[in-house]
Amino acid sequence: MLKRLDENPLLTPDDLSPTREDLEVMCTLNPAAVRFGEEILLLVRVGEKVPDEPDSVAYLYFDADDGELKVGRYARDDPDLECPDGRGYYHHGQMVLSSMSHLRIARSRDGKNFTFDPQPAIFPATPYEAYGCEDARITKIEDRYYIAYTAVSDRGVTVALASTTDFVSFERHGIIFPPYQKDVVLFPEKVRGQYVCRHRPYKSEFNPACIWTAWSPDLYCWGRHEQTLAPNPGTWEANRVGAGANPLKTSEGWLELYHAADAQGRYAVGAMLSDPEHPERILTKTREPIFRPEAEYELQGVYHNCVFHNGLVLEDDGTLRFFYGAADRICGGALTTLDEMIAAAKNEL
Ligand code: MAN
């Protein structure tokens, strides 16, 4: 039902230059997506790193006091250093990321062939972004495009909001969710007089990572939080769930695609429909994933067995352009239709 594009991978680390000569691009992943006039825009997470050295591991961080990127290092043979997978290291239990991400636009006329802008769109600029800006979602609300993204630092994992009208200049609105939060996606219009979002608090010793719903009068202050979707033990969504791209208003309710990970950490995508007036209530959801890692570039990468979806474009003819990060390394795309995704959410396919 979701047909991978023949052009995949759409974007790879070879498609752009690093922001500094001493760095390299390690990954181009997890793209938000939007139609903007004649173009399809992706807002891609670009991870940069210090090239590998034999005796040490290096990490990048933005030093807000000095306003510049700096490099930290640990000796590879440090007994307190652990490397669980390609995403980062733990030193005395504290995580450092192997790459630092910024957000960059890639443009296309056909939704298949994309070219990166020469400069980043959103680059770490505050203490809350010291370790990077990750995994954006774009939602058009009235005449502005709002971008919710993950801001990572030693202050925790938070969610920041920015907006634009032209995808050239971006206004920052600060942190809208304190730690530990990810996967915030705004609904495109008010529901019963309030803005709505999904968000995803981290797991704790009491709870797994669930999708929540919150309400706001102004997009900045969020309240009336409720849990909407929890992981399902023993299934493809046993470990965690998180919102995908912008919800779409349909005749059957709000249609959303979301990500889930199983007990082994394999990421897949599901679909759900929620009540038009009460989006905190799910009407129906997929029993099985609608998209799971199958292609080589999804099975092998920085983080294996991963399809992470946060970009969706609905065309006037009902075509749905689905964009995703594969194995935390490259961007992919697939095509489906709105009708098929509604049928998938209702388990009718
Ligand atoms: C988390 C996020 C994503 C990433 C997946 C898999 O959900 O950090 O950015 O794609 O993990 O590593």
List the domains of the chain with CATH numbers: 3-345 (2.115.10.20)
Nearest partner of 27 among 49, 57, 54, 47, judged by Cα: 47
- 240: which 2 tokens? 């965690």
Contact 44, 52 (CB under 8 A): no
> What's the half-sphere exposure (Cβ side, CA atoms, 13 Å) at 322?
26
- Measuring from atom 12 of ligand 1, which residue has the nearest CA? 303
182-to-15, 53, 211, 345 alpha-carbon distances in Å: 27, 32, 10, 23
| Ligand 1 proximity of 340 Cβ (cutoff 6 Å) | no
Cα–ligand 1 centroid distance for 213 (angstroms): 20
What pLDDT shows up at residue 250?
98
Cα–ligand 1 centroid distance for 334 (angstroms): 19
Cα–ligand 1 centroid distance for 205 (angstroms): 20
What pLDDT shows up at residue 85?
84
Contacts from 151-160 at CB under 8 Å and sequence distance 24+?
A: 151/126, 151/175, 152/97, 152/101, 153/127, 153/128, 153/129, 154/130, 155/127, 155/128, 155/130, 155/179, 156/180, 157/181, 157/182, 157/202, 158/128, 159/184, 159/199, 160/128, 160/129, 160/133
Does the pTM surpass 0.85? The reply is: yes
| Ligand 1 proximity of 303 Cβ (cutoff 6 Å) | yes
CA-135 nearest atom, ligand 1 = 9
Cα–ligand 1 centroid distance for 129 (angstroms): 17
- Measuring from atom 1 of ligand 1, which residue has the nearest CA? 308
| Ligand 1 proximity of 310 Cβ (cutoff 6 Å) | no
- Alpha-carbon distance of 246 to 241, in angstroms, equals 16
263-to-24, 236, 239, 309, 344 alpha-carbon distances in Å: 33, 8, 5, 19, 23
- Alpha-carbon distance of 137 to 133, in angstroms, equals 12
Cα–ligand 1 centroid distance for 143 (angstroms): 30
Nearest partner of 245 among 271, 224, 227, 222, judged by Cα: 271
Cα–ligand 1 centroid distance for 236 (angstroms): 16
What pLDDT shows up at residue 83?
87
- To test ligand 1's pocket by mutation, which of 184, 303, 305 has the most ligand atoms within 8 angstroms of CB? 303
List, for residues 271-329, the tens digit of each pLDDT value.
999 999 999 999 999 999 999 999 999 999 999 999 999 999 999 999 999 999 999 99
Q: Is 278 exposed, middle or buried (0-12, 13-18, 19+ CB in 10 A)?
A: middle
- List, in sequence order, every residue forming a beta bridge with 188; answer none if it has no partner: none
CA-45 nearest atom, ligand 1 = 9
What pLDDT shows up at residue 349?
86
Residue 233, Cβ neighbours under 10 Å: how many? 10
| Ligand 1 proximity of 135 Cβ (cutoff 6 Å) | yes
| Ligand 1 proximity of 298 Cβ (cutoff 6 Å) | no
Name the stretches of the chain with pLDDT < 50.
none
